[in-house]
Structure 1
Amino acid sequence: MTRTPTTASTIPVAARATDVWKVYGAGEAQVVALRGVDVAFERGQLTAVMGPSGSGKSTLMHCLAGLDSVTRGHVQIGDTRVTGLSDAGLTRLRRDRIGFVFQQFNLLPTLTAEENILLPLAIAGRKPDKQWYESVIATVGLGDRLRHRPSQLSGGQQQRVACARALVARPQVVFADEPTGNLDSRSGAEVLGFLRDSVRDFGQTIVLVTHDPNAAGYADRVIFLADGRIVDEMRQPTSDAVLDRLKGLDVQRTSAEATP
């Protein structure tokens, strides 16, 4: 497959990495997690980030979201340069313009589903936009479960609560790190369908880190990483095409490791 430039697009960009390097440790213990990554994530699209274990998927997401600093290069959310922001600036950025969905649902067990969804706004001292909130709740399909606590919800329902929480503040971009990793196939499909619907119906931008070809099949575009570099991308992917590409990456890595 011929790789097309990841930054060439007429669609507005929600997040961007420019020549990003991330190095952990020093000397013999040094690990280079990202190697000169250049990538733009287009607004109003669901982009999946994939690659073998240790390829830098989650590191890239954490750097883009301001959860980790870069060693070299810079990242942006919209027109805001994340690299170099103060702690207070990073807090405001993550609170007001970024949503997060993680493999662990991270719901507070003593709060109801509705209270968990509204928690980021409550912390920020903001009231929800009633019409937007109702739209999110309708899309997530949990209108009759809002008064239930997490222990009274299935895993898929808990993750949909986490997705609604990520969307309720109308963030510029949502980063989802293996959001279906703890779910069965049916619940995972429900969550992925909700994320897909939020892109289609709300124009939301989502960056999805996943190892699952079926999850990547919901995306508009897939970015493939290997050894900290972007090595390929795919538009309008299918799960079978993604699986074939991942197999190719594994073969390349095995061959490289076997070469003296």
Structure 2
Amino acid sequence: MTPLPPTDAQSVPTPAARGRSLTKVFGEGDTRVVALDGVDVDFARGRFTAIMGPSGSGKSTLMHCMAGLDSVTSGQAFIGDVDLSTLDDKALTVLRRDRVGFVFQAFNLLPTLTAMENITLPMDIAGRKPDRDWLDTVIDTVGLRPRLTHRPSELSGGQQQRVACARALAGRPDIVFADEPTGNLDSRSGADVLHFLRRSVRDMGQTIVMVTHDPTAASYADRVLFLADGRIVDEMLEPTADRVLERLKAFDPDSGGERTAAAGDDTRAAVR
């Protein structure tokens, strides 16, 4: 008997994260602001997604709700098959620690710990031993082996952010959320971090979602989602810095395009 072809449910893997009808409202009455307005979104495994949009478009709110850092007013956010709204605070903390990686603009390293101790900190808190082979792969990919015994004050900004990236990846999370990860870096350090994030997707199968205002940073992604007024209004596959910049100008031709162009010039020069 000829086997039946797989159904859609069998052939399409569950996204690393997804949102359904995500709505987030801040304030009431005259101060009421709808930051997310019924957003549906999937983040496929092993893909690099950038989220862009003008100030106040909801891009950081979307990332925070998808990562379990903030609750939604209505709708559902999933990591794998887990609906975050069904978890109590303790279970949500465990899920974030074990299945989600975070990279922030401010690095968020502990100043008294070495680079290696900062990288393994989440696993140390969880009482888990790192997978040494995987940890070595991450350290070598990020290029930090000579600096592992140094504390953050002894590292450059780019090196500190690479420590933060290694920390996010060391536990082999389902997904890594990065919020403006190059925002505090010079152009060359920013390019180094973006190259590492790109390699982690290409070579290690990581899933990354990055909020950025920089068209050049977005060009490292597999796709770009554009938000406006709390809604996803466009998607671009295989983005380039110039195409992204042109799309952003459509949102705010008088200021948004100029701001993002200036932000992208330094990084673009660094990677030529």
Name the TM tier (shorter chain). over 0.9
How far does the alpha carbon of each residue in 1:194-222 deviate from its partner, in whole angstroms, 9 at most, with x for none? 00000011100000000000000000000
How far, CA to CA, are the matches of 2:132 and 2:255 in structure 1? 50
In structure 2, the partner of 1:165 is: 167
Moved more, 12-21 or 167-176: 12-21
In structure 1, the partner of 2:177 is: 175
Secondary structure of the 1:198 match is helix
Residue identity in the other structure for 2:87: L
User: What stretches of structure 1 of length at least 5 have no aligned partner?
Assistant: 1-8, 255-260
In structure 1, the partner of 2:201 is: 199
TM-score, normalising length from structure 2?
A: 0.88
Alignment map for 1:96-111 (pairs within 5 Å): 96-111=98-113
In structure 2, the partner of 1:228 is: 230
How far, CA to CA, are the matches of 1:138 and 1:245 in structure 2? 36
In structure 2, the partner of 1:6 is: none
Cα offset for 1:89? Answer: 1.1
Answering whether residue 239 of structure 2 is matched by residue 242 of structure 1, we say no
Task: Report if aligned partners of 2:14, 2:81 keep a CA contact under 8 Å in 1.
Answer: no
In structure 1, the partner of 2:19 is: 17
Residue identity in the other structure for 1:64: M
Answering whether residue 64 of structure 2 is matched by residue 80 of structure 1, we say no
> Once the two structures are aligned, what percentage of the paired residues are identical?
70
Residue identity in the other structure for 1:30: R
User: What stretches of structure 2 of length at least 5 have no aligned partner?
Assistant: 1-10, 257-272
Alignment map for 1:30-41 (pairs within 5 Å): 30-41=32-43
How far, CA to CA, are the matches of 2:255 and 2:40 in structure 1? 21
| Equivalences, count | 246
In structure 2, the partner of 1:66 is: 68
Answering whether residue 214 of structure 2 is matched by residue 209 of structure 1, we say no
How far, CA to CA, are the matches of 1:121 and 1:145 in structure 2? 20
How far, CA to CA, are the matches of 1:175 and 1:11 in structure 2? 20
The structure whose residues are more often helix, as a share, is 2
Q: Pick the aligned partner of 2:54 from 45, 52, 55.
A: 52
